[in-house]
Amino acid sequence: MKSEFSLLLLLSIIVFGAITVTNAGGGAPGGGGLRPNFYRFTRCPQAEMLVKALTISKVRSDPTLAPKLLRVHYHDCFVKGCDASILLDTVGTNQSEKDARPNQTLGGFEAIDDIKAQVEKACPGIVSCADILALAARDAVSFPFGRNLWEVPTGRRDSRVSLISDVNGNLPSPFSDFPTLQQLFAKKNLNVNDLVALSGAHTIGVAHCGAFSRRLFNFTGKGDMDPSLDATYAETLKQQCPNPANPATTVGMDPQSSRSFDTHYFTILNQKKGLFQSDAALLTNADSAAIVNRLQFPRNFFFEFGRSMVNMGNIEVLTGTAGEIRKNCRVINPIA
């Protein structure tokens, strides 16, 4: 009860105590791209503090939310950029990105809906869903550390289009080999360092058995196991995910450390315990393998992960007068 009162007090201070800067609409003076503290120059200077307070409240109640929001942000940015297109629901026969197979196991949408609703109450029509998603992903992961692990430049606007057909060929798969991963990242102006650092997000969260069961039971179509996977670990996975894979069963992506955002993922990679083929693929390239070794050190990982998250968050963003500021993250605004 005390913590709930403290949160309400904090939200009241944020919403009603901030100094309002007058500037019509949601844009910043001079228009243009992303910048730190973009909303300081709008009619919602408290936007980022408000998103953080709401996100922290939700993560306190549900620690599994951090990897969910991180994954939604990642899936959004790799398909037509960080424009909140992943948040749009299907309308009629026009299937949205959400309906694509890789996106059907995503979660955390309700949390974004609630954060957006609260932000709209405080600042109608100012803060984009794309920025809320980017900020919430950062704030959810950073919460246990008591500080921001990376900066989120803001000023994104929301797409009015979300098509299932745009997902294919853009979103890296857990079955990808290294050349495929490198090519997909390069298409987004991300390099090998970004690829390895962002793969470190697999240190938290869970995966459905279907994303890796082929490695256990039928790797080459002959009923064999992937030889790049540690045999003892594979047997443990087989106990958790018997064949055929149950779509409802999940396994921690980072053995013994799937709730802690740390460098353990890079340690287990060198032990041949990366859960996905795409994880094991990082060791098949000399440059990538060297980065894996370097990122086993926390100082290196946190710095590189933060830098790569900023790089990812810049992919094909809509700014200025492009797109719109959705009132509801699930639907586009009606045309006036």
Confirm whether residue 200 is marked as ligand binding.
Answer: no
Confirm whether residue 158 is marked as ligand binding.
Answer: no
DSSP-derived letter for residue 166 is G
Confirm whether residue 76 is marked as ligand binding.
Answer: yes
Give the residue carrying structure tokens 């309700």. 110
Return the domain boundaries, the chain.
46-205+253-313
pLDDT confidence of residue 5: 39
Confirm whether residue 167 is marked as ligand binding.
Answer: no
d(CA 291, CA 322): 37
120: how many CB neighbours lie within 10 A of its CB?
Answer: 17
148: how many CB neighbours lie within 10 A of its CB?
Answer: 15
Confirm whether residue 25 is marked as ligand binding.
Answer: no
pLDDT confidence of residue 336: 74
Question: Does the active-site annotation cover 264?
Answer: no
Domain 46-205+253-313 sits in CATH 1.10.3720.10: no
Judge whether 254 and 265 are in contact, CB under 8 Å: yes
Confirm whether residue 97 is marked as ligand binding.
Answer: yes
Query: Which class for 110: exposed (0-12), middle (13-18), buried (19 or more C-beta within 10 A)?
Result: exposed
How distant is the alpha carbon of residue 82 from its chain centre?
10
Task: Collect contacts of 233-242 with beta carbons under 8 A, ≥24 apart.
Answer: 233/271, 233/272, 233/273, 237/212, 237/275, 240/209, 241/209, 241/212, 241/213, 241/216
53: how many CB neighbours lie within 10 A of its CB?
Answer: 21
From the list 73, 75, 208, 264, the catalytic residue is 75
Confirm whether residue 172 is marked as ligand binding.
Answer: yes
pLDDT confidence of residue 26: 35
d(CA 193, CA 201): 14
Distance spanning both ends of the chain, measured CA to CA: 44
The mean pLDDT values, 10 residues at a time, for the chain of 336 residues are 43 37 31 83 96 98 96 98 98 95 96 98 98 98 97 98 96 96 97 98 97 96 95 97 94 94 97 98 98 98 98 97 97 92
Contacts of 78 (CB under 8 A, 6+ apart): 170, 171, 172, 184, 188, 315
